[in-house]
Homo-oligomer: A and B are copies of this chain.
Amino acid sequence: GCRSPSESDIAEKTASPDHAANQVMPAHRDVNQKPTPVKIERTSAHRVKVEMTAQVTDIEIDKGVTYKAWTFNGQAPGPLIVVREGDTIEFTLKNLDPAMPHSMDFHAVHAAPSKKFINIAPNRSKTFTYQASSPGVFMYHCGTDPVLQHIANGMHGVIIVKPKDGYPTDPQVDREFTLIQNEWYANNNLDDMTDGQPDYVVFSTKALKKGDPNTNGTTYSLKEKPLEAKVGEKIRIYVNNVGPNHVSSFHVVGTVFDDVYRDGNPDNRLRGMQTVMLPASGGAVVEFTVKEAGIYPIVTHQFHHAQKGAVALLKVTE
């Protein structure tokens, strides 16, 4: 179908038993696994242990709309991972999904995919070691076939690799957030995923430190509870567009990006940008100043995607 979430479409979804809900696999129908906290532990100066789960967890993606998501750790996008340039990552994935294999592809690392991004069977666990040698804001995702389906069902997230010499603008930055853009299709519907007609396009934020907001990719979370900043602050956002299908025209209403680092690499600096083009799986570090109190919407300026949910709010107070 070539649908938008219009009234007639909602009618169709309700009427047609084969459209959405019943795309849930029989083996997943009664599965709803409680979110599992991610384990991240620095074990030495340049070594980090990360333990994650693959699991099936219900996520409310729009008011009253629950998605039987394939997830990392019961979140979609999955938990934020932060490491430092040059770190070796010792990564364990425990597959709690009773019905199918999953895997992990970190864009941040150098590794032979056929050896280190491989499938892990249901109820099994595997550990892989690789290095994050390049700084940036990288996507991670399940790489199990069909990859499109695994990403679109929720198996995506972000790993930030902090540059060892920082960004030239570090001294000016007052506040940092992470934002992720992702698409949601009719539940587990590979046809709609392949057509590229999402039901929703959404933003989420992931906590950079304790107390920060941490949300799933929903149409409402960052509207009901805006990100918060103070007048005059320079804000940095680590952003990635995990897709799976569409590019993003990332824009903050009411300001201009003073600095942009493509894919988050300090060498790829742009100045004075109104909007940043993010390929599917592309990232950026964007920085801007908010000069007045008020509400600043954050959107993809491909506005049909904003219409389908991709709006977050930033609330700036004195």
Q: Which residues of B contact A114 (CB under 8 A)?
A: 294-296
Q: How many copies does the complex hold?
A: 3
Closest Cβ–Cβ distance, residue A244 to chain B (whole Å): 4
A228 at the interface (CB under 8 A from B): no
Residue from B138, B272, B307 in contact with A274 in the complex, judged by beta carbons closer than 8 Å? B138
> Which A residues, 220 to 259, have Cβ-Cβ distances below 8 Å to chain B?
243-251, 253-256, 258
- Count of chain A residues with a beta carbon within 8 Å of a chain B beta carbon: 90
Interface string of A76-118 (1 = CB under 8 A from B): 0000000000000000000000000000010111111111110
Stretch touching chain B among A48-56, A188-196, A202-210: A188-196
A306 at the interface (CB under 8 A from B): yes
- By beta carbon, the residue of chain B nearest A288 is B110
A143 at the interface (CB under 8 A from B): yes
Q: A267-B272, A280-B249, A307-B194 in contact; A295/B112 too (CB < 8 A)?
A: yes
Decide: B244 and A304 in contact? CB cutoff 8 A: yes
A28 at the interface (CB under 8 A from B): no
**Considering the chains assembled together, what is the distance between the CA atoms of A307 and B272 in angstroms?**
33
Decide: A2 and B4 in contact? CB cutoff 8 A: no
Decide: A304 and B245 in contact? CB cutoff 8 A: yes
Known: A274-B283, A280-B301; 18 extra A-B contacts, CB below 8 A, are: A3-B195, A109-B254, A112-B292, A113-B253, A115-B292, A134-B258, A143-B253, A147-B303, A194-B307, A194-B308, A195-B197, A243-B249, A243-B301, A244-B302, A262-B270, A265-B272, A268-B272, A279-B301
